């Protein structure tokens, strides 16, 4: 099993990256599919908050995922300073960074590793989950990835891994656009961007632009890795 996880797999057909990329774009742009799958982005978003909070020496109190695709991560520590700034900063950029990291692994033919890294991250997040819906979402997501990595053929595993990575890359951009739309209508007074504005005295619009720049850069870098 260890050799399988850390080893490399045969390169998939050259068309697979293009097809899965097109599917990911369609899924993200089409509202009926985006609505339920946005929860995957929320998992990465809240996981990013939690991971950085721990790295900054904060104590993680818990994570909640909600049926409206929102989520919240609570950590305990100094309410100001770099630790809190980096914790608040992490959410919107984590899906894109994970996607870029997954693209780098796929470029190195580590298809199985992509799936098992996802499983490990989900397992770590499960320890911190604090509501039943969040626990159910993590179990279902992990169950799908585990079943594909354990039971599916190499071709199916490759297609799923590419689709997952493309989805993270593409879906990292849309929540940033949605955030700015909500802020412009006064519907997101406690958003990550506005919390960062309070912490740093830098306008929230700057932080939205920062989120968008990181997401777009990760998409470009990840797409280059997947398509070359």
pLDDT tier for residue 222 given thresholds of 50, 70 and 90: very high
Q: Is a pLDDT exceeding 80 seen at residue 4?
A: no
- Tell me how far apart the terminal alpha carbons of the chain are, to the nearest angstrom: 29
Check residue 156 and give its pLDDT.
95
Q: Is a pLDDT exceeding 90 seen at residue 190?
A: no
3-state secondary structure of 196: helix
Q: Mind listing the pLDDT tens digit for each residue in 106-140?
A: 999 999 999 999 999 999 999 999 999 999 999 99
Q: What is the mean pLDDT of residues 26-53?
A: 96
What is the total residue count of the chain? 228
3-state secondary structure of 63: strand
Q: What is the mean pLDDT of residues 89-115?
A: 96
Query: What are the distances in angstroms from CA 2 to CA 142, 148, 157, 162?
Result: 19, 17, 17, 21
pLDDT tier for residue 141 given thresholds of 50, 70 and 90: very high
Better-predicted residue by pLDDT, 7 or 17: 17
Q: Is a pLDDT exceeding 90 seen at residue 160?
A: yes
Check residue 202 and give its pLDDT.
96
Using CA atoms, how far apart are residues 155 and 126, in angstroms rounded to an integer?
29
Check residue 110 and give its pLDDT.
94
pLDDT tier for residue 195 given thresholds of 50, 70 and 90: very high
Query: Residue 173: which of 123, 216, 202, 125 has the closest Cα?
Result: 216
Enter the tokens of residue 213.
């720049």
Using CA atoms, how far apart are residues 157 and 105, in angstroms rounded to an integer?
14
């Amino acid at each position: 099993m260890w050799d399988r996880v850390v080893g490399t797999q045969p390169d998939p057909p050259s068309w697979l990256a293009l097809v899965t990329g097109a599917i990911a774009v369609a899924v993200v742009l089409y509202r009926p599919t985006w609505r339920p799958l946005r929860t995957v982005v929320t998992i990465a978003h809240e996981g990013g908050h939690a991971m950085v909070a721990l790295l900054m020496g904060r104590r993680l109190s818990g994570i909640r995922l909600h049926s409206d695709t929102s989520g919240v991560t609570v950590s305990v520590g100094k309410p100001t300073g770099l630790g809190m700034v980096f914790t608040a900063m992490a959410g919107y950029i984590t899906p894109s960074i994970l996607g870029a990291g997954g693209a780098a692994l796929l470029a190195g033919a580590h298809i199985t590793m992509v799936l098992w890294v996802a499983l490990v991250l989900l397992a770590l997040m499960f320890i911190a989950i604090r509501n039943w819906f969040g626990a159910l979402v993590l179990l279902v997501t992990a169950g799908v990835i585990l079943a594909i990595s354990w039971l599916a053929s190499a071709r199916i595993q490759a297609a799923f891994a590419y689709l997952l990575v493309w989805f993270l890359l593409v879906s990292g951009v849309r929540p940033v656009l949605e955030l700015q739309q909500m802020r412009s209508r006064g519907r997101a007074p406690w958003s990550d961007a506005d919390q960062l504005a309070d912490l740093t005295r830098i306008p929230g619009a700057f932080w939205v632009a920062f989120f968008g720049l990181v997401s777009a850069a990760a998409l470009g870098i990840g797409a280059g890795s997947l398509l070359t």
